[in-house]
């Protein structure tokens, strides 16, 4: 892909992605306020309800509306500018079997989520932060079918699919026009993670989680670049969003051992990917990438803190 490597071109690409994000959030919020009562809109965040199925429906509608608008706008812009279609941006199996891509996604999850798991193992043994309150009481909800309905809709199924199509599909492809394929992997990963406002808190556990999840987002974008498909990232994202009982040291320790075991089992391709990633970093325009990351941090962190 030919790159437009000027500062103005890079700024325009980032501003386009940011504008699309703002547009789909504003449009979706306006439509939801217009047609859905406020007390109904809050149901997908309230796990204390005796019936969580309405919350699951609200969460599904919210996700489909927000990212449906964003995906439509983003890919319309890609097609208008360069005739780029969704399959050109990774929304495809890329000539590989679904089984292979799913297996790659499982290994990617082990590599990407291991540091996150380690944080909660350490925090369970030597507490250094409050963590996430919901996961402290997750055991009481796991047996309920309506809990799984709301969690699948709001975390495990729709977000991985829709967010990967938007961020690792549209946004990565747009940024690759000006940063190159590898640079886009880095920049889009910072955009993605810094837009997760629930990590913005004066809590060491959440801050540490944000830092390691940027690493995880880079892994998802890198595997998309390597395979030509977003499916491995969808699988890794979905497994990362599972409602693991993060306050349970025994469970999280077992999960960590599983992740380590998967990495050891697939060590050769894992090692090759780390080696190729380091090589790509050395060959990249590191100055442009670091400047892009600095701009993303300087704009998104204040926006998220003020929102």
In the prediction, which pLDDT does 190 show? 97
Provide the pLDDT for residue 48: 83
pTM metric for this prediction: 0.95
Q: Are 90 and 105 in contact (CB under 8 A)?
A: no
Query: What would the DSSP string read from start to end of 120-142?
Result: HHHHHHS--S---HHHHTGGGTT
Q: Which residue has the tokens 């279609």?
A: 85
- Enter the tokens of residue 188: 């889009």
- pLDDT for 2 equals 46
Residue 233 and residue 105 in contact, taking contact as beta carbons nearer than 8 Å: yes
Percentages helix, strand, coil for the chain (3-state, rounded to 5) are 80, 0, 20
Report d(CA 293, CA 281) in Å as an integer: 14
Can you give the pLDDT of all 307 residues of the chain as single tens digits?
445 568 899 999 999 999 999 999 999 999 999 988 888 888 888 888 899 999 999 999 999 999 999 999 999 999 999 999 999 999 999 999 999 999 999 999 999 999 999 998 998 888 887 777 777 777 888 999 999 999 999 999 999 999 999 999 999 999 999 999 999 999 999 999 999 877 787 788 888 888 898 999 999 999 999 999 999 999 999 999 999 888 889 999 999 999 999 999 999 999 999 999 999 999 999 999 999 999 999 999 998 888 7
- Give the Cα separation of 180 and 187 in Å (integer): 10
**What tokens were used for 92?**
């495809």
Half-sphere exposure at residue 205, Cβ-oriented, CA atoms within 13 angstroms = 21
């Amino acid at each position: 892909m030919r790159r437009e490597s000027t500062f103005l071109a890079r700024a325009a690409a980032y501003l386009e992605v940011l504008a699309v994000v703002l547009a789909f959030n504003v449009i979706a919020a306006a439509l939801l306020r217009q047609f859905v009562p406020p007390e109904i809109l809050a149901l997908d965040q309230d796990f204390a309800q005796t019936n969580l199925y309405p919350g699951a429906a609200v969460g599904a509608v919210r996700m489909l509306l927000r990212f449906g608008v964003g995906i439509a706008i983003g890919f319309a812009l890609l097609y208008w500018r360069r005739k780029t279609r969704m399959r050109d941006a990774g929304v495809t199996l890329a000539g590989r079997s679904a089984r292979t891509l799913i297996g790659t996604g499982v290994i990617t999850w082990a590599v990407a989520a291991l540091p996150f798991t380690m944080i909660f193992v350490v925090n369970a043994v030597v507490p250094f932060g409050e963590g996430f309150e919901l996961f402290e009481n997750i055991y009481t909800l796991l047996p309920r079918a309506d809990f799984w309905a709301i969690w699948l809709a709001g975390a495990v199924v729709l977000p991985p699919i829709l967010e990967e199509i938007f961020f690792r599909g549209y946004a990565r492809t747009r940024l690759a026009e000006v940063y190159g394929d590898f640079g886009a992997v880095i920049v889009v990963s910072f955009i993605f993670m810094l837009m997760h406002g629930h990590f913005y808190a004066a809590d060491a556990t959440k801050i540490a989680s944000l830092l390691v999840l940027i690493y995880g987002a880079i892994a998802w974008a890198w595997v998309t670049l390597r395979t030509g498909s977003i499916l491995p990232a969808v699988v890794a994202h979905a497994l990362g969003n599972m409602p693991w009982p993060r306050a349970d040291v025994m469970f999280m320790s077992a999960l960590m051992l599983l992740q380590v075991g998967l990495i050891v089992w697939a060590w050769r391709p894992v090692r090759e990917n780390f080696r190729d990633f380091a090589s790509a970093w050395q060959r990249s325009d590191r100055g442009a990438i670091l400047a892009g990351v600095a701009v993303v941090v300087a704009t998104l962190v204040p926006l998220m803190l003020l929102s």
